[in-house]
């Protein structure tokens, strides 16, 4: 079995893959500033006082619990690949994997890029999640493609039909935008990410939803249109990320919506470096 680890700024996702596809997907907070959040976020019987920031023990206990609940022996995992955009978490994950599975994981980065069928112009500057997205898009579609990832950051990664990463656009993610308002204003509440029917907000929550959710609908459409225009109209759009369902009116823009695209890319990288 193959284990993919996708460590993002907000969450870390573990995906277990067998011949049937993604058998199990597990998600947890990447870094916990408040140890008590471990108990609430992971819904487990972990001792919250032991769940320190970036703790190897925390990740090891979570993985043991998840594998036990899934009735999967640890020994069946024969390859593990980590993508991490959180530098302080990468050594924790690497140590956890090595200790738990008695094998060294592959950590995606410039050292493995020469083995990939991608042209990466700035290998030390691009996030490994974006490389994984580009890898999955290139292998799956073989067309000019812009991957729109609805994550902590809203990213637009464009890869050519020949496998060249042409460029990236980055904006704050939906939750990041809402939390920024909540954190930096005295009277604005944090609100759910629901697409309102009207741009004319009649309450504070409605006003924020109109400004952020409807605003991002326009932002995303515009960036997709600009990308297509720069490629003479020859470009499909693919959506992924945890908030991809937040703006359903955008779904017609996408040739495909693949929640596991980043994990698929991590696996494709693993197939070429193991």
Q: Which of 18, 47, 57, 129 is catalytic?
A: 129
Distance CA 227, CA 138 (A): 17
Q: Is the dihedral of CA 196, 204, 173, 156 positive or negative?
A: positive
Are the C-beta atoms of residues 81 and 273 closer than 8 Å to each other?
A: yes
For the four alpha carbons of 111, 113, 119 and 125, in that order, the dihedral sign comes to negative
Quote the distance between the C-alpha of residue 272 and its chain's center: 21
Q: How many CA atoms lie within 13 A of 192 on its CB side?
A: 5
Angle value at C-alpha 197, between 192 and 199, nearest 5 degrees: 90
102 is catalytic: no
The H or E element that residue 188 is part of is none
Question: Which of helix, strand or coil describes residue 145?
Answer: strand
CA–CA gap between residue 65 and residue 71 (Å, rounded): 10
Q: What is the largest CA-CA distance in the chain?
A: 58
Q: Give the residue numbers marked as catalytic.
A: 129
């Amino acid at each position: 079995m193959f284990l993919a680890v996708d460590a993002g700024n907000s969450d870390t996702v573990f995906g277990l893959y067998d011949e049937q596809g993604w058998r199990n997907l597990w998600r947890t907070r990447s870094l916990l500033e408040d140890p008590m959040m471990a108990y609430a976020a992971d819904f487990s019987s972990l001792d919250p006082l032991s769940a320190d920031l970036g703790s190897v023990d925390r990740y090891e206990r979570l993985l043991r619990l998840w594998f036990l609940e899934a009735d999967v022996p640890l020994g069946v995992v024969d390859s593990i690949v980590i993508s991490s955009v959180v530098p302080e978490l990468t050594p924790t994950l690497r140590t956890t994997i090595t200790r738990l599975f008695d094998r060294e994981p592959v950590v995606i980065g410039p050292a493995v890029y020469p083995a990939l069928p991608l042209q990466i112009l700035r290998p030390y500057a691009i996030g490994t999640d974006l490389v994984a997205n580009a890898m999955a898009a290139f292998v799956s579609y073989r067309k000019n493609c812009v991957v729109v990832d609805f994550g902590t950051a809203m990213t637009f990664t464009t890869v050519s039909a020949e496998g060249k990463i042409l460029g990236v656009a980055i904006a704050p993610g939906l939750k990041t935008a809402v939390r920024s308002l909540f954190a930096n204003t005295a009277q604005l509440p944090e609100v759910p990410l629901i697409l309102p029917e009207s741009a004319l907000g009649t309450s504070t929550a409605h006003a924020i939803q109109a400004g952020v959710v409807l605003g991002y609908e326009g932002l995303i459409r515009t960036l997709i249109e600009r990308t297509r225009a720069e490629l003479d109209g020859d470009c499909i759009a693919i959506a992924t990320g945890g908030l991809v369902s937040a703006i359903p009116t955008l779904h017609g823009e996408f040739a495909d919506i693949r929640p596991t695209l980043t994990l698929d890319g991590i696996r494709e990288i693993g197939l070429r470096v193991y």
